[in-house]
Structure 1
């Protein structure tokens, strides 16, 4: 009886661990509803033939991409283990994933499964070398950082360092891990990994998308992870990776080049006898030194006068350019009147301290946004796309719905990264119109956008999954980026 009481807690903990592991594993998968296959079909036979062979063919770095069959029944498979996992553990994880994914997504032509240590993905479409950041699984710790602003600044520094290191990996492994000291004696540990089949230019934006999702959903969390088909990102306040295994899996680097041989110093020649007493030699040396010094002084004065002349000419040119620029900034009253449609209320943005404020919202709707840019800048500047992007971001910041306006962190990210796709802005919050026809048209457009947004929201909600990582974690699944 006493023996049973001793072993009972152990058996209960084992059962609970298995149940928890099964629950978490079952949530980290996605079945694509864009094609099915039947039992004993060509696609089914190809899939059943390739999946069992994957574990034994994994590389020592934990990666494999393979395919079997011909289109349209061709099966493409990508298997990837976390960069710090030993080969035996990697093969075991992939073997379990092949069995679980067939049970979780029966008769689906495309499916993906993320586990703690590996990722398995198969599809009838070509997936090799194609970056994919959806669907995505997001998990985070419920505890927030005590100093969020400084914590996120340190996290961003560590993220940028690891992102460049991971993207610079080779065709067999793209992974980086490291840590950084955070406020209040905390340490941030991070691991970033991309699928080795994608390029350096695709790895960077994939990891950047994961960081954007973190800022959009849980910016102050002390720990979080983002799982995407082509890359994964994880940060914790405790060590969770095997750094020595990551260093071991990296390709062997060439050692530093040996230092150049040291050349012997030239011998120091002693002066000839009678040198100190030779007045003739001394006189010649003095004359040569005086001549050299004189030439040097004359050359310096000439250079100084030449630079001074050029500086004055440059100041005159800059002064002329300033006058020309000031004149170009003066707009003709007739042009302003035409741009605002005779100061029509349909172009009115609001009321300021100096009177009515007008904005060419119609230019944006009619795809003539460049009309809002000064003609001189539009004709001479090489940064037209940058200016249009700033106008686009500015319109997003004045959306009528507060939830549609990006956060300051998102604005900074959008300005620094051109790989982020910006959503289309709707009518500004302070746009007013007194024309009945325009009101009706704007109302119709607004209702159309609301219907499209509801359809998109319904589609996202049907494909989005939320998973708990542990008793201290909360998780969200997003199929389409914000």
Structure 2
């Protein structure tokens, strides 16, 4: 079994297509683009000049090389053509790519663009020699394979054999696959490829991780194509590559074909006989590679001075000394109402953390309902002792949320740090979280338009307090429907500040080496680059707003015939003048002012625009919600051409990139 990759990030955009067949001619087929780092200066002339020099340098080599990298005036760039296309097709593709990337990613300091025949990327930061699979994109053949309930062992065997061929031969890290005959009707064809700035081990690691990610989402598909910045893999049940294979289209026979002395049947038997061995070898190699990677980065983090579990515990013990060990309220340096509860008190209150008292599971542990001896009901979050992120969250919430007081923020009552336990005690919210009502076909009927209006406005006011009105400037970083709690009157309260960060008054943006959040609610600049700001929270608020209006979950919404995310679906309906079709059907007759519903969809789309600079601040959002003033026209949300897939239970990252956790 492959090792878990839940400490890594691979943002997958899954594009379902009716028939995944691309012409085998010189026609250039666009697949996807990713644009990052919009410039902070409006003087674009110098950057445009430098970019033109780099792109011209790359394009000038496309008639000679199928791969080329270049550096020009603080910009790094490379292109890679598919290994089986002709040099003429490669030249045509790079010519198109150098023109289109300037249009599709105008003035962005870092960008990728993929075509079926080639890919091109540039950045102000050096990436040569670094194996990256993020951002990654997965496309699949909509036609199901025959054995839909079984792993496609033959496909895996072929791909892992191609990975071995590509990284252990002189094929310049690319290999196509000849057919593997499994019976009289099924065949397998594959192609793997890495950019040639990678060494052999980096190429192998890159391709192996793509296989792991592809298998999570495409096991029932007849064909799929997954590609990232440094490598790509494609598998089909038909011949999709040019059969005149070789370096720069030299005439080289395809690999893995049976020789002239043997028959196809003998070859098929040999292949089947080695399938199990190949899979086991690949699994072992993947595990060893992952273990080495974890050890290397763990040592590097410790050398870099990052906080260890032991140091965190020492800091928490110092924090604990500010409290007495007596039960009840005691003053600390932050807030006189925060209590240091004894572990015995919490055990009794929760009936010894019984299953009946369990309210749910959060990103860092279980949550229990409890009742103190005075009859007060509480919610207790029990953090995992072995989780470093849980330690960070514990310290962050105790030292941060105690400083915040607002009716739309959940209140922290106290904590406990005894017997290797880390417990956070909150006010109990009888109606649990927004998602338990919004996405339940029965409970959502309790959320009429008036209640939904109140929830949206309450969350907006709570977020405005965090960003502008509190004495601290707080970025939440994990705002989602499950982190909006509802009291007995269905009033919303933002919860879970374990990943929140404090900004200075004049601070606009920050970056992190550890992206923690939930795919589907994370702004693209945060998910892909670790950049966060108040505009990241605005994006998350916009997603929640559209979910509340539609009653549909962004991370589960899907239209097979169109491959749309909820954001894309809302954008399309609004542009076609059919915005009311987004509103949950049961609300149409109760929402009263349909113009208000349309206006709020408009505001939600303004919040989820791809460029952070285009999104409004929360103070502007609150004004928009309370008035009928004219609204600016929104730009398209990110990934509006395909589904923004968010139901990812584990995540992946690059060989030398950010360590990422995803509370999905």
- Aligned: 1:191 with 2:240: no
For residue 31 of structure 1, what is the aligned residue in structure 2? 35
For residue 241 of structure 1, what is the aligned residue in structure 2? 241
For residue 50 of structure 1, what is the aligned residue in structure 2? 54
State TM-score, norm by structure 2: 0.38
Q: How does 1:11-160 map to 2 (within 5 A)?
A: 25=30, 28-33=32-37, 35=39, 41-58=45-62, 60-69=64-73, 74-148=74-148, 152-160=152-160
Match of 1:459 among 502, 522, 533: 522
Matched residues in 2 for 1:183 and 1:55: separation? 45
SS of alignment partner, residue 107 of structure 1: coil
Contact kept? 2:110, 2:123, Cα under 8 Å: yes
Matched residues in 1 for 2:50 and 2:206: separation? 30
**Structure 1 residues 209, 449: closer, same or farther in 2, change over 3 A?**
farther
**Structure 1 residues 42, 133: closer, same or farther in 2, change over 3 A?**
same
CA positional deviation for 1:181: 2.4
Q: Where in structure 1 are there 5+ consecutive unaligned residues? A: 1-16, 254-340, 352-360, 369-432
- Aligned: 1:365 with 2:385: yes
Once the two structures are superposed, residues 319-347 of structure 1 have per-residue CA deviations (whole angstroms, 9 ceiling, x without a partner) of xxxxxxxxxxxxxxxxxxxxxx9xx8999
Contact kept? 2:191, 2:234, Cα under 8 Å: yes
Once the two structures are superposed, residues 427-449 of structure 1 have per-residue CA deviations (whole angstroms, 9 ceiling, x without a partner) of xxxxxx9x9xx796276999346
State TM-score, norm by structure 1: 0.51
- Aligned: 1:447 with 2:504: no
Q: Which has the greater radius of gyration?
A: 1
**Structure 1 residues 440, 232: closer, same or farther in 2, change over 3 A?**
same
CA positional deviation for 1:454: 5.2
SS of alignment partner, residue 116 of structure 2: coil
Contact kept? 1:180, 1:187, Cα under 8 Å: yes
CA positional deviation for 1:41: 3.9
CA positional deviation for 1:50: 2.4
Matched residues in 2 for 1:171 and 1:442: separation? 60
CA positional deviation for 1:363: 11
**How many residues end up aligned between the 2 structures?**
298
**Structure 1 residues 173, 155: closer, same or farther in 2, change over 3 A?**
closer
Matched residues in 1 for 2:217 and 2:230: separation? 20
For residue 461 of structure 2, what is the aligned residue in structure 1? none
Once the two structures are superposed, residues 349-384 of structure 1 have per-residue CA deviations (whole angstroms, 9 ceiling, x without a partner) of 979xxxxxxxxx99961569xxxxxxxxxxxxxxxx
**Structure 1 residues 151, 40: closer, same or farther in 2, change over 3 A?**
closer
More helix by share: 1
Matched residues in 1 for 2:85 and 2:170: separation? 18
Matched residues in 2 for 1:203 and 1:159: separation? 14
Matched residues in 2 for 1:32 and 1:40: separation? 15
> RMSD between aligned alpha carbons?
4.9
Matched residues in 2 for 1:68 and 1:115: separation? 24
Q: Where in structure 2 are there 5+ consecutive unaligned residues? A: 1-21, 254-343, 357-365, 367-381, 389-415, 428-482, 484-494, 501-514, 529-553, 565-641, 653-661
